[in-house]
């Protein structure tokens, strides 16, 4: 395990686990003044689940390197967690947690059956396989799995939020 493993485990395992177990509370915690304490709690839980032989090689959590943006998409709360810059492919630039409707006819309809209201999205550093034309990989997650598409988004919160609003949620900027 290397020092960037936290990056992958946090965005791809720990935070989705918390979100899909208790979506309302997770989004509320990340949207609160205590958001960084919640991130620390998720990290601590992750750290406990890592085999003891691998814990020593895990990088310590740098809360100052994580920025949490809480906003509303329409009337629904959304939290975007901006991670430290990824070093390895598939590490996340950021993740978004959203509770509300999305466009059913776009991109990932098979992951989100009708009536599904809890959505977890990632913006990741692409692999060489995706291609050099893509700056990022956009991921959509459910309890049952996830899908990715390459995209030309700049890895910024504004670009990620605009993409979510325009292409996935299908609403104008609030």
pLDDT category at 113 given cuts 50, 70, 90 is low
Query: In sequence order, what are the residues at sequence separation of 6 or more whose Cβ sits closer than 8 angstroms to the Cβ of residue 117?
Result: 99, 100, 101
pLDDT at 52: 81
Q: What is the per-residue DSSP string for 28-50? A: HHHTSTTHHHHHHHHHHHHHHHS
Mean pLDDT rounded to a whole number for the chain = 80
Identify the CA nearest to 103 among candidates 50, 14, 26, 165.
165
pLDDT category at 2 given cuts 50, 70, 90 is very low
Taking residues 107-130, report their average pLDDT. Answer: 71
CB-based contact 153:160 (threshold 8 Å): yes
Among left, alpha and beta (phi > 0; psi -120 to 50; other), residue 88 is beta
Q: pLDDT by residue (tens digit) across 30-77?
A: 999 999 999 999 988 888 888 888 777 776 778 899 999 998 877 788
Structure tokens at 85: 């810059």
């Amino acid at each position: 395990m290397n020092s960037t493993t936290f990056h992958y485990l946090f965005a791809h395992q720990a935070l989705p686990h918390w979100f899909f177990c208790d979506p309302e509370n997770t989004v509320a915690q990340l949207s609160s003044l205590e958001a960084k304490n919640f991130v620390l709690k998720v990290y601590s839980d992750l750290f406990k689940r890592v085999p003891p032989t691998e814990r020593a090689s895990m990088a310590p959590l740098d809360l100052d390197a994580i920025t949490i943006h809480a906003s509303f998409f329409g009337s629904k709360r959304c939290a975007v967690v901006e991670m430290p810059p990824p070093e390895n492919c598939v590490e996340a630039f950021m993740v978004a947690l959203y509770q509300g409707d999305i466009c059913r006819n776009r991109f990932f309809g098979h992951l989100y059956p009708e009536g599904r209201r809890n959505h977890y999205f990632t913006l990741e550093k692409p692999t060489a396989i995706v291609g050099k034309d893509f700056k990022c990989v956009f991921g959509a997650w459910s309890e049952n799995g996830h899908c990715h598409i390459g995209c030309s988004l700049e890895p910024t919160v504004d670009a990620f939020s605009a993409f979510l609003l325009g292409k996935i949620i299908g609403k104008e900027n609030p």
